[in-house]
Amino acid sequence: MNTRKTALAATLIAGLAAAPALADTPGKDRMPIDQVLTKLTEAGYGSVRSIEADDGVWKAKASRDGRAVKVRLDPQTGAIVEKAGKASDD
């Protein structure tokens, strides 16, 4: 399972590095992206499709209970601060 998490984190990091600079650049005070992925997994989210730093928070698109959702996380602690309904793939 750790190998799977590591592979997913590496894929997300590589994808985010190649993405256009539309989101914020994570600051030194932000939790690293691999820890954000761990927090999402621990909170019961799976199939994480994207994680980005934007609007002062970490934003993620993932699934939970069989539904696609958008999640906002506190940038320092990784605590879930907002959950939204269906996540689109745009």
CA distances from 6 to 3, 48, 79 (A): 5, 13, 21
pLDDT band at 84 (very low <50, low <70, confident <90, very high): confident
| Tens digit of each residue's pLDDT (9 = 90 or more) over 18-65 | 444 455 666 778 899 999 999 999 999 999 999 999 988 999 999 999
d(CA 8, CA 81): 23
Positive or negative: CA dihedral 70, 73, 78, 79: negative
* CB distance 5 to 38 below 8 Å: yes
What is the rounded average pLDDT of the residues 56-80?
94
Structural domains in the chain, sorted by start = 2-84 (3.10.450.40)
87 phi/psi in degrees, rounded to 5: -95, 130
